[in-house]
Structure 1
Amino acid sequence: MDTAADELRALARSGSLVERYPRVRDLLADADPDVLRRAGQLLSRLDPDEVLRAHPGTPGFRVAVTGTGTLDGIVAPLTGELARHGLLARVRVGDFGGYVTELSDPAGPPADLTLVLLDAASVFAEAPSPWRADDVAAVLAERVALLEKLVIRFTSAGRGTLVLNTVPLPRRYPAQLVDHRSRARLGAVWREANARLLRLTEDHPALVVLDSDALLSDGIAVLEPRLAAYTKAHLSPELLHAYAREVAHLARASTGRAKKVLAVDLDGTTWGGILGDDGVEGIEVADTYRGEAFRAFQATLRQLASQGVLLAALSKNDPGPVREALGGHPRLAVREEDFVRVVANWRPKHDNLRELADVLNLGVDSFVFVDDSPYERGLVRRELPGVAVVAVDEEPALHVDRLLAQGWFDVPDLTAEDVARPARYQEELGRQDFLRSFDSVQDYLDELGVRVRVARARPEELARVSQVTLRTNQFNLTTRRLQPADVRALAEDPDGYVVAVHTADRFGDNGLVGVLLGRREADVLRLDNVLLSCRVFARGVEQAALSALLAHARDTGATAVLGEYRPTAKNGKVRDFLPGVGFATVADDGDVVTFRHDLTDIAPPPAHVGLTVDWNRR
């Protein structure tokens, strides 16, 4: 069998697709759009409940679809794209043209993402016949005003994340205007309306607006005329699939699956030529067509690193020439200081990747690996299936698009913590070198000078708090993912607790690295979650923060604190955290373990930690 779709079809015909469902993610890892389309058609016929009965740990993802036309064509591509990222899709398509009613209902069906698909046909249906550009402008103004009201209603009801799209304009409409001045006027008013849609995200954190222009720039048709005429499907299958791909990237980020590390090969990938053969001055970097293409790829790496992506180099080379090239080549657009780690040796790259993951205290499923060697890519795929592998080849002009095609590092919002992340990890590597100079971990901690500040999160920190819940997988007691609107609602609740944990030490400020979430219920504080960045494990930060919260609960009249642990494939290391700080197990149903602390004996913060606490509500 040549393709993933062939194997999936064989599994479906044999009746074993549900039984072998965990195989789906690996089959679709490198699937092209055509394979994903066919796979989505097969997978969308499965009953999600049947899959869950066979594989209870499969993460599900609920998507509600509504809009202004026939939208059933989104189901199959969305199912395939979500499956590619390990998510079991539950897609519900609303009534034709029923988006106003569905978004206005505060008690609408729950969904992780609600998509409102907008098309041009519904705009022109409201324009007079014949129409002029100014008639369309009036309809667009009313439509955008209505959408803003619906966004406010939807998000104020706390119904999750809402996704709109800018409205693509098919050529058939401007072509109906015979003079170019009128066409220009239509183009201007159309773009202004779409710009207003895009700007709605500035005031509504629970809203995402996908820019259709970015999808259409790849040559995708806006509509397929026969489908538009006969089925009222006013967005082409190709555009729906491109849209589904972007939505899957959002889903991946909102479930903690966004990648964090970009590990790139050097020879043939980051620059042209072989460093060991051609020397530092002989590698292709600039001044030729191919050299400029490699330089564009380097600039893209630096652009990603500036936004918090951890950049690493993995090269089969001697370390000296690599450092010379990255440190001294006058035309390189990326430098050694842009990388959190440069690994140059002759070991297998999958071993280097595994070791780098250990050093950074991250799972290998946080990595994207880019290499021009099919051999190296194949080894990494086989040995480390959680790593996302990007294939590039001898054509460097295609490197940038291939790297960016799957949006591996996409997040809903960029925070100051994101921008500072590479520097934080470089500091962390310095801490590890410092640790190796001590005979014991305790001696190291005593000299490290750990400082912890525990305080209610400030308004400007709420986006970062949401991000911690979305991206933290290992030290995460319940893996409940909160969107910014969810965090804001809890912070504004008089009984809610959104507590930020900041740390610093002799090497620098780690920033906001942990979160305590809870709610006061009479004389009991219910602890919804405790989360901590993997960068600061095993330094006493979590014990100090929870000690502060327990003491605050006692001092404000609480008689107990309840907490939970929900096991996942990645959070096993925190199974014993609550018992380790004085909580007793009171229930265990196999899915959730419930703990209780009676606040009579609160363990103090570790002696090596300097703790500052501020419980003032802001």
Structure 2
Amino acid sequence: MATVASTSVGERIGPLDRLRALHREGRLAHAYPEVPGLLAELASTGDPSGPPAQDLVRAGQLLARLDASAVLAEHPGTDAVSVAVTGHSTLSGLTSPLTAEFARHGILLKLHSGDFGSWFRDLQDTQSEFYAAGAEVALCVLDAQIVFDELPHPWLVDDVERIATAKLALIGSLAERYVTHGSGTLVLNTLPLLRTHVRRLVDARSRARLGVIWREFNAGLLRLAAAHDRVHVVDLDPLVAASGPVNEPRLAAYTKVLLGDGLLAGYAREVGHLARGLRGRTKKVLVVDLDNTLWDGILGDDGPEGIAAATTYRGEAFGRFQRLVGQIGAQGVLLAVCSKNDREPVLKVLRDHPDMALREKDFVRVNANWEPKDGNLLEIARRLNLGVDSFVFADDSPFECGLVAGSLPGVAVVRLDEEPALHIERLLADGWFDVPELTVEDRARAELYRTDAARQDLQESAGSMEEYLAGLDVEVSLSPVREHEIARVSQVTLRTNQFNLTTERLQQADIRTRRQSAEHLVLAIRSADRFGENGLVGAVLISGIGSDGGWRIDNMLLSCRVFARGIEETCLAAVLRKAKEAGARGVHADYRPTAKNHRVRSLYPSVGFTETGQDADGAGAVSFHHDLAEESLPQQPAHVRLTVDFTEQSA
């Protein structure tokens, strides 16, 4: 993916000029695969604590003119997301940044905008275009005037409390209505309280009470996200703090632009992060440099006594960055080091240096050598059995960042610079690791991957794969998903790419609906071995329970951490045996190919399924059928111990 373009005479041109040239020549749809890289370069400029770079918004203006169907015609595999927008004020300033933010994450925006001020009608009327659009993401952008426009003149704080309470109840009922009748994720937002609202009260006591009422109102909005799986609430207060004024007073008065361009650009960035997560593109690994990234100084030149992550002004900034990295790692993000240094001095610093907030045990891999960093990232990915597109790479060197961005375009590159006080802002700017909800498995992930090193040692010392598996002592539990596991199963569908037979992404509400249906089974796969628990590592989603047409395996998923241990064959053998016992006439299944799941193409045939056809659209989807004849039922691998219960529905 190119991020730098050249003119006919070999002269370098910038990413925005490249986009303009492609647009002018009518080739932007054809060159669309270049766009994420170009936008990534644009997004890396500017103040990381402020709103998105203005050039990124200008790029969005060009991209918003593109016909999405033209891009899909040129590149059928492009990930496209339909978004519906409604609101209270003028929202024309949202289109360009929203288009750009989606595009830089490799997502083509298909936008449906409602009429000005139509938010109540759009959410109330289930026959409205807002519902009919069938959007995956539905944005309802609100502002403080939905309360203040209804106040009497003159007004008291009691009036604000009364109307805010009624408005919160209304929004809550509309959210429930959308969750019941809509198909996507509804995005609401908190409402910024302006200084001009507060200053209309002349006494400090009333102003304080207004502040309390307003914060309770916004807290009620935020609680809607906890109450509904398919409701997301963007807190605008941090965005206002970063972008400056909520609006420009003259535009607010004359054109009803009640949320300014800077704030809308920040809002668009948050929605882009949400869409990326809904498509299972959350990053899993943070790879960091060391010299002038985790500590001040160059270990090879200055020695251990010459580097600092405390005790000096600059050193303390690096220490704060280390603590942030540790905070991220404690929430399920895998941490790794990629540094041009000799390994033993690096390990000694991580083990013994008094300034370090991070230690060797905090990292699942420490690659300190003199090899090119793109190759090191590939090696780390291989050892973790993950794709590099799940990586974020943070480095202070423009050369290293350019090398990785150019050779490994799937890696999110965070370009740090010589100002360590901005390291935190730059790493957090794009929410690369955002997930809807943390699970038990998330918090234990780093330890699980560290345990895998012991498994690899066993495999390397074993005389054969059979000897390794016999010594591993694999245990598998297969039973219906429990209530507290719903978030984890949804996460597995969103984040698993390699062992994912159909790559259907399911939100928690989707899993819960299937769990409550008598026609569906959602089976959780849990595993353990001699080295410890692996937790919930996969799922089997089945429909057609009790139907005349037989059972259907809608999808099967398994974490890359537990590949090739016989777990998949064990679970499928149990499912087929249970289907036969239940009197099913057969079991159907599908495989839909992607760029990453080719290794599971042969899974169903390997356990006795026969291929029954391929989709005529050329996408390569294959259907399978198992007749459940006794002689064709697979046997459970001998080295696996299975506990199975198809009736359990406990919490």
Equivalent-residue separation in structure 2 for 1:492 and 1:373 (angstroms)? 52
For 1:254, the equivalent position in structure 2 comes to 278
Superposed CA deviations along residues 254-304 of structure 1, whole A, max 9, x for unmatched, are: 111110000000111000111122222321111111111000000001000
Give the drift of 1:416. Answer: 1.0
Counterparts of 2:491 and 2:181, CA distance in 1: 21
- In 2, the alpha carbon distance for the partners of 1:179 and 1:30 equals 50
148, 154, 159: which one pairs with 1:135?
Answer: 159
Q: Given the alignment of the two structures, is residue 473 of structure 1 paired with residue 502 of structure 2, yes or no?
A: no
Distance 2:648 2:451 in 1: 32
Q: Structure 1 CA distance, aligned partners of 2:611 and 2:150? A: 62
Shift of 1:156: 2.7
Instruction: Provide the rounded CA distance (Å) in 2 between the counterparts of 1:515 and 1:377.
Output: 37
CA RMSD of aligned residues (A): 1.4
SS in 1 for 2:337: strand
TM-score by length of 2: 0.93
Q: Which amino acid aligns with 1:321?
A: P
Summarize deviations over 1:341-387 as a string: whole Å, max 9, x none: 11111111111100000110100101011111111111111221111
Aligned to 1:594: 623
SS in 2 for 1:91: strand
Retained in 1: the 8 A contact 2:243–2:263?
Answer: no
- The whole-number CA distance in structure 1 between the counterparts of 2:280 and 2:554 is 18
- Give the Cα–Cα distance (whole angstroms) in 1 for the partners of residues 122 and 359 of structure 2: 51
Q: 1:100 is matched with which residue?
A: 120
Match of 1:47 in 2: 67
- CA drift at 1:124: 0.7
What SS does the aligned partner of 1:485 have? helix
Q: What CA distance in whole angstroms lies between the structure 2 residues aligned with 1:91 and 1:158? A: 16
Alpha-carbon distance, 1:331 to partner: 2.5
1:533 is matched with which residue?
559
Helix, strand or coil at the partner of 2:112: strand
Question: Quick one: which of 253, 272, 284 aligns to 2:296?
Answer: 272
| TM-score, length basis structure 1 | 0.98
Give the letter aligned to residue 516 of structure 1.
Answer: V
Partner Cα separation in structure 1 for residue 568 and residue 415 of structure 2 = 40
Q: Give, in angstroms, the shift of residue 477 of structure 1.
A: 1.1
Name the structure 2 match of 1:578: 604
Matched residue type, 2:326: R
CA–CA distance in structure 2, aligned partners of residues 176 and 423 of structure 1: 55
- The equivalent residue for 2:28 is 17
- Asked if 1:406 is matched to 2:430, the reply is yes
* Structure 1: distance between partners of 2:628 and 2:232: 43
Corresponding residue for residue 308 of structure 1: 332
Which residue of 1 is the match for residue 138 of structure 2?
114
Query: In the TM superposition, what is the alpha-carbon distance from 1:140 to its structure 2 partner?
Result: 1.0
Partner amino acid, structure 2, of 1:558: A
Judge conservation of contact 2:385–2:561 (CA < 8 Å) in 1. Answer: yes
User: Residue by residue, what CA displacement relative to the aligned partner does 1:478-524 show, whole Å, maximum 9, x if unpaired?
Assistant: 11111111110011011111110001111111101101112116131
> Does 90-99 or 190-199 show the bigger shift?
90-99
After superposition, residues 5-404 of structure 1 pair within 5 angstroms as 5-32=16-43, 33-106=53-126, 108-109=131-132, 110-157=134-181, 159-404=183-428
Equivalent position of 1:517 in the other structure: 541
Deviation at 1:46?
1.2
Alignment match of 1:603 (pick from 631, 634, 639): 634
Q: How many Å apart are 1:235 and its aligned residue?
A: 0.6
- Segments of structure 2 that go 5 or more residues without pairing to the other structure are 1-11, 44-52
Query: In the alignment, does 2:14 pair up with 1:3?
Result: yes
How far apart, CA to CA, are the structure 1 residues paired with 2:13 and 2:421?
A: 28
Q: Which amino acid aligns with 1:614?
A: D
Following TM superposition, by how much is the alpha carbon of 1:157 offset from its aligned partner in structure 2, in angstroms?
3.1
Aligned to 1:155, the other structure's residue is in SS state helix
What is the Cα deviation at residue 104 of structure 1?
3.5
1:560 to 582, 586, 591: 586
State how far apart, in whole Å, the 1-side matches of 2:181 and 2:465 are.
49
Question: 2-side partners of 1:609 and 1:104: how far apart?
Answer: 54
Structure 2 counterpart of 1:24, one-letter code: V
Q: Which amino acid aligns with 1:85?
A: H
**Are the counterparts in 1 of residues 282 and 390 from structure 2 also a CA contact under 8 Å?**
yes
The one-letter code of the counterpart of 1:135 is: D
- The answer on whether the counterparts of 2:192 and 2:236 sit within 8 Å (CA) in structure 1 is yes
Greater CA drift, 91-100 or 46-55 = 91-100
8 Å contact from structure 2 (residues 479, 644) kept in 1: yes
Paired residue type of 1:509? E
Q: Which amino acid aligns with 2:607?
A: V
Residue correspondence of structure 1 range 405-444 to structure 2 within 5 A: 405-444=429-468
Deviation of the 1:614 alpha carbon:
0.8
Q: Which runs of 5+ in 1 are unaligned?
A: none
SS of the aligned residue for 2:153 comes to coil
Distance 1:106 1:484, change over 3 A: farther
Q: Partner of 2:6 in structure 1?
A: none
Asked if the contact 2:339–2:368 (Cα under 8 Å) also holds between the matched residues in 1, the reply is: yes
In percent, how many aligned pairs have the same letter? 55
Secondary structure in structure 1 of the residue aligned to 2:245: coil
Matches within 5 A, 1:498-509: 498-509=522-533
- Runs of at least 4 residues off by over 3 Å: 104-107
Q: Does structure 1 retain, via aligned residues, the 8 Å contact 2:243–2:262?
A: no
Contact 1:161 1:483 in 2 (8 A): no
Aligned residue for 1:594, secondary structure, equals strand
